[in-house]
Amino acid sequence: EAGVTQSPRYAVLQEGQAVSFWCDPISGHDTLYWYQQPRDQGPQLLVYFRDEAVIDNSQLPSDRFSAVRPKGTNSTLKIQSAKQGDTATYLCASRAGLGTSAETLYFGSGTRLTVL
């Protein structure tokens, strides 16, 4: 079974540039998460979806970040105008359903973003 796939693996930008991250979750997983993991910190939830619907985006900096999952499968996270403080690894994760809080999240390898 294929795992969670993310691309690109690395991105290096100047401040003010835009960047998009792409995620393909495990087939059949209807819940998808985007986490930001700054260096030397734990992953911090940005947004998560069930199918195509946003369930919680309260931690997403809405002025510059956006996330979509139009068909309830793949997802794109975009930063419109990157800042140095956005330097982090962006992790995508998926899980099967909302039935129980104990379901395991499966993570992709992440996109490591450096903003100069």
Q: Contact positions toward another protein, by CB under 8 A?
A: 4, 31, 33, 41-45, 48, 50, 55-56, 91, 93, 95, 98, 101-102, 104-105, 107-110
| Nearer to another protein (CB atom), residue 68 or residue 105 | 105
| Nearer to another protein (CB atom), residue 14 or residue 27 | 27
CB of 81 to another protein, least distance (A): 27
CB of 103 to another protein, least distance (A): 8
What token pair was written down for 27?
């087939």
d(CA 81, CA 59): 17
| Nearer to another protein (CB atom), residue 45 or residue 68 | 45
CB of 24 to another protein, least distance (A): 14
User: How far from the centroid of its chain's Cα atoms is residue 2's Cα?
Assistant: 18
Beta bridge partners of 111: 90
CB of 75 to another protein, least distance (A): 16
d(CA 49, CA 53): 5
| Nearer to another protein (CB atom), residue 22 or residue 80 | 22
Strands (E), 1-116: 5-7, 10-13, 19-24, 31-37, 44-50, 53-56, 65-68, 75-79, 88-95, 106-107, 111-115
